[in-house]
Each structure stands twice: as C-alpha cells, then as structure tokens.
C-alpha cells in the first residue's frame, strides 16, 4: 500500500447523505506517522446535533426500520457485513492513514471483528426473546402477562480513537438489530473509517436515517448529544474521566448509559508458566497497537523464582518488534495517536524513573529512518515497579510495561485487585485448574488464561469498578438496547374474582 496521501474532505453522514456542518467549519485529521494533514472533517455544532437527532427520530417513528421483522433486519445486517468485506481495502487505508494502527492490526483484527460482530449479532438477535409469556397467576384475579421488548428510539454512540470501527460496531450492531436508530460520534482524531461505514450501510439497504455519523469535538458535539432530550440512550467508550462526565450529563434526562472505560490490567505469571507461550503473550498483551488498548496487560506480576529470567526474555523479545509506518505490512508497532498522547506517555516514563523503577529497555521517543516526524515511542519495560507508583496505578495508554515481583499467590491477587479499574486480568500457568481458581478472585470483567486480546461476540465484555457500567457483546447486550414492558391482561369478566376491588368497596 502506498504511503503517499492526498488531503480528502469528509462531510458528516446524516439521513443517508453527506452533509457539511451547519457552521461550515472543518477540523484537520492528521496521520500520526508523520504529523501530516490527511483529511478535513466537518466540525459539527449543536445545530447539527439537533438536525441529526430530529431526522433519526423521524426515521425511527416512521417504522421503516423499527417495525421490520427481526428476520428482515438480520438480512440487511448480513448484507452490510458483505459490503464491509467488499470495501475492506478502502477501510484499511482510511484507518491506516489516520489512526496509527498498522495494516496488520486493521486487516488482521479490526475488519474481521467488524464482519463477525455484524453477522453474529444479527444471528443472535433471532434467538433473543422479544416476547415472553409468564404463567397465569390467580392472585388479585387471573391474568396472563406478556413481557415485551421494544426498541428504545434514538441511541447516541460516542467512541474513542483506538478501535474506531470495532467499538462503533459493538454499538451499531445491537442497536440496529433491535430496531433503534443510531448517531455515532467518533473521536475527532479518527472519524474517517466510521464515516465510510455509514455509507456502506446505506448501500447494503439500511434505510436512510437509521445510522448517522456526526463529527466534531467531544466537549461540543458529544455533550450536546448526551444532553439531548430525544436521545434515549448513550453508549460510550472512552476514558473513565469522560465517562464520569457522561454519567453526570445523562442525569438530567435520566438516560440509559453503558460505559466502557479505562483499565489497568494485571497479568499474573505463576512459577510453572510455559515461557514459550508467556513471553510473546505478555508482550502482545501490552504492546499491541502501541499499548493503546483498554484491556492491555500493563502490569505483569511475576513470581520471585522466575523473576529475572522473565524480565531478561521479555526484553530480548521486545527487540524483535519492528516500529514503522502503519501502511507497511512488515510493521509490528506504529505511532501513538497524537503528539499530546506521546508527551503524556513520555511524562509517565519520566515519573517511573523518578519513582525508582528500573528501566530495562526503551524509555524514550523512537528515532530512525521514517520515524522522526511521527509520534513513535520505544516499547518500554520497567522492572521493580511497586503498585503505589503512578505508572502502576494510572492508565498510561502507551507502550509501557510494569513488571512487579510477588512471593505468594494471595499477594499477587491483592496487587492485581489494588486498582480503581477492573476491565481485564490474566493468568499464565500450565496448571489451568489453579488458574481458573485465581480467575474467580480477580475483580475484572474479562479474565484470560494463557491468552490475551481474544474476544467472542457471544461473550459479554465490560468492566468492574471504574472500568464501566453494563456490558457489550453477548446476548445480554440486547437488554441494553431495549425497553421492557409488562402487559397484564385479565382473564375474567367476573368482578367477584377480582380481589383487588375489595380493597376499596
């Protein structure tokens, strides 16, 4: 894939059409690999939000999608998955020039996830009970009761920069499967692929106005969406800091919210761990996508008996990770998303040094041919980290691994749980029975055993503690995109069978 780019212009995608923002303003989208402008996107205002919500609401109320049968919706979702497959190269390119993600990540993980998420969510929705019948109950007179699931209306999805397409799809798929309309607001660094996705949905037969994309700043557009009275639910993925704001902003209209927030996962390496699996597994766990993954294994707790050999092997294997341009298929690790993010990560590295952690490898901005203008950071490993250090407590969101030593397994479990986050955790051991027992003691929504970064569309994902609220994926996700109504119908025409009348007569 050529690394040459020309600046493209992107309007918003509302009601099936490309629409420039009402104010006419745009913002630049940069390539983190070289800091060059690759696109200009519409900078939406509150007026654009009102327009998008109004048209999504009209579409919802028209019934053109919300009243379709589950089977009809599934067919269109499957054809949408087909369109993504057909246009995969274009999506890979748009994401490759603007997100810092490597083509290996986008092609090898993201696109596959998108397609599978749509297909499997569509198929799972066919098994989801939209109507349940409760047994006849005699108390207060015989009645039959149906529990009916109904779509919510207009849903807002606010997504982060690290997996723009996948995390949008985790919201789009269940939302549209249940008949809702959705407005996605991608992170302002990375709107391109999501805009293309909306266009593909229309080509696949999704009615206009069901899936809309609005672009702009979180503090303006995001907030206007969250506060809008006609938005029935906000599905947010991003930092815990902004997640807390979203919860506050949703309070005045008592909106439903799901929050997928930050993480500070610990991987526990037991003395019997198989190094052949553990060393590359830990490194993939932390350095995939330059460490910008919410569930990354940023803290690794290693038993004292194998502590130094593990550190040595982690450092040796880290040298094999090739930094380079995201569009070069030989690149293993690209840049972080922005100069701001790079400086934040470098500050954390300095704080690790200041607090007495031992720098084993990396530790600075990466230099070399092709890297100098990009926001590249050397994959960095700190040893002798203690859990009270900032690098062990705060989410760095960059390629920085903290290695800690433990003696007893209970000590390791305590350290793993000693964090405000609770998104994921993991155990590396040959003894899967012990590993599964440890898994029950870890406060995290996902626990991997001898594995990392593996997702299934039928397994819910979400966080304990300050890592989130609610779950995405799995059958349960449909509960998050529907209202539940109880319809209670009397089965008698005899007043004498209605004991409730006796309460006042």
Catalytic residues, by residue number, are: 260
Strand partners, 27: 41
d(CA 237, CA 201): 22
Residue (30 or 167) nearer to ligand NAD, CB: 167
d(CA 89, CA 91): 5
Written in H, E and C, the secondary structure of 407-458 is: CCHHHHHHHHHCCCCCCEEEEECCCHHHHHHHHHHCCCCEEEECCCCCCCCC
CA dihedral 451, 103, 391, 300 (to 10 degrees): 20
Residue (55 or 188) nearer to ligand NAD, CB: 188
Strand partners, 322: none
d(CA 470, CA 259): 7
Are 37 and 30 a contacting pair, CB within 8 Å? yes
Output DSSP code: residue 472. B
d(CA 21, CA 9): 12
Residue 258's H or E segment, with its range, is strand 256-260
Residue (237 or 457) nearer to ligand NAD, CB: 237
Residue (180 or 190) nearer to ligand NAD, CB: 190
**Terminal CA-to-CA distance of the chain, rounded, Å?**
81
Residue (224 or 269) nearer to ligand NAD, CB: 224
d(CA 92, CA 89): 5
Taking the complex as a whole, how short is the minimal distance between the CB of residue 227 and ligand NAD, in angstroms?
A: 9
Taking the complex as a whole, how short is the minimal distance between the CB of residue 168 and ligand NAD, in angstroms?
A: 10
Taking the complex as a whole, how short is the minimal distance between the CB of residue 446 and ligand NAD, in angstroms?
A: 10
d(CA 257, CA 150): 17
Taking the complex as a whole, how short is the minimal distance between the CB of residue 88 and ligand NAD, in angstroms?
A: 22
d(CA 172, CA 83): 15
Residue (273 or 473) nearer to ligand NAD, CB: 473
Taking the complex as a whole, how short is the minimal distance between the CB of residue 472 and ligand NAD, in angstroms?
A: 7
Residue (66 or 457) nearer to ligand NAD, CB: 457
d(CA 265, CA 263): 6
Residue (207 or 463) nearer to ligand NAD, CB: 463
Taking the complex as a whole, how short is the minimal distance between the CB of residue 242 and ligand NAD, in angstroms?
A: 3
Taking the complex as a whole, how short is the minimal distance between the CB of residue 116 and ligand NAD, in angstroms?
A: 17
Are 421 and 392 a contacting pair, CB within 8 Å? no
d(CA 116, CA 59): 27
Strand partners, 14: 17
Taking the complex as a whole, how short is the minimal distance between the CB of residue 262 and ligand NAD, in angstroms?
A: 4
The footprint of ligand NAD (CB under 6 A) covers 158-163, 167, 185, 187-188, 218-219, 222-223, 226, 237-239, 242, 245-246, 260-263, 294, 395, 397, 423, 463, 468
d(CA 288, CA 13): 31
Please provide the DSSP assignment of 23-86 as one string.
Answer: T--EEEEE-TTT--EEEEEE---HHHHHHHHHHHHHHHHHTTTTTS-HHHHHHHHHHHHHHHHH
Show the CA angle centred on residue 410, arms to residues 408 and 416, nearest 5°.
110
Residue (159 or 278) nearer to ligand NAD, CB: 159
Matching residue, tokens 């995939």? 288
Taking the complex as a whole, how short is the minimal distance between the CB of residue 93 and ligand NAD, in angstroms?
A: 21
Tally of residues, the chain:
505
């Amino acid at each position: 894939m050529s690394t040459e780019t020309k600046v493209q212009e992107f309007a918003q995608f509302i009601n099936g059409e490309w629409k420039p923002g009402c104010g006419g303003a745009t913002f630049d989208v940069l390539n983190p690999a070289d800091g060059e402008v690759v696109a200009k996107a519409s900078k939406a205002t509150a007026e654009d939000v009102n327009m998008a919500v109004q048209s999504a609401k009209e579409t919802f109320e028209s019934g053109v999608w919300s009243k379709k049968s589950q089977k009809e919706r599934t067919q269109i979702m499957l054809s949408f998955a087909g369109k993504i497959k057909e246009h995969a190269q274009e999506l890979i390119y748009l994401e490759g020039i603007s997100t810092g993600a490597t083509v290996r990540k986008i092609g090898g993980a993201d696109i596959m996830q998108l397609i599978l998420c749509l297909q499997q969510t569509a198929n799972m929705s066919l098994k989801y009970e939209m109507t349940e019948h409760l047994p006849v109950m005699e108390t207060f007179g015989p009645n039959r009761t149906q529990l009916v699931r109904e779509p919510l209306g207009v849903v807002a999805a606010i997504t982060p920069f690290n997996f723009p397409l996948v995390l949008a799809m985790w919201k789009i798929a269940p939302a549209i499967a249940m008949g809702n309309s959705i407005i996605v607001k991608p992170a302002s660094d990375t709107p391109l692929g999501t805009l293309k996705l909306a266009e593909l949905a229309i080509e696949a037969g999704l009615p206009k106005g069901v899936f809309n994309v609005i672009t702009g700043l979180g503090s303006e557009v995001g907030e206007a969406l969250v506060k809008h009275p006609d938005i029935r639910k906000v599905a947010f993925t991003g930092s815990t800091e902004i997640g807390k704001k979203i919860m506050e902003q949703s309070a005045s209209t008592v909106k439903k919210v799901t929050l997928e927030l930050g993480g500070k996962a610990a991987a526990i390496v037991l003395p019997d761990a198989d190094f052949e699996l553990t060393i590359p597994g830990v490194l993939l766990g932390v350095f995939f996508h330059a460490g910008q993954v919410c569930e990354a294994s940023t803290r690794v707790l290693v038993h004292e008996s194998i502590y130094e050999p593990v550190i040595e092997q982690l450092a040796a294997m880290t040298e094999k990770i090739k930094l380079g341009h995201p569009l070069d298929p030989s690149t293993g690790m690209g840049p972080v998303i922005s100069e701001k993010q790079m400086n934040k990560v470098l500050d954390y590295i300095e704080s690790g040094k200041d607090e007495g952690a031992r720098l084993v490898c990396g530790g600075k901005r990466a230099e070399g041919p092709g890297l100098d203008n990009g926001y590249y950071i050397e994959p960095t490993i700190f040893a002798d980290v203690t859990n009270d250090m900032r690098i062990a407590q705060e989410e760095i969101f960059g390629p920085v691994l903290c290695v800690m030593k433990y003696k007893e397994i209970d000590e390791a479990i305590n350290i793993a749980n000693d964090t405000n986050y609770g998104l994921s955790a993991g155990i590396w051991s040959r003894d899967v029975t012990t590993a599964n027992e440890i898994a029950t003691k870890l406060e995290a929504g996902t626990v991997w055993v001898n594995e990392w970064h593996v997702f299934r569309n039928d397994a819910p994902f979400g966080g304990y503690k300050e890592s989130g609220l609610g779950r995405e994926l799995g059958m349960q996700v449909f509960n998050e995109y529907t209202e539940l109504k109880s319809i209670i119908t009397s089965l008698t025409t005899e007043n004498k069978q209605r004991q409730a009348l006796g309460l006042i007569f």
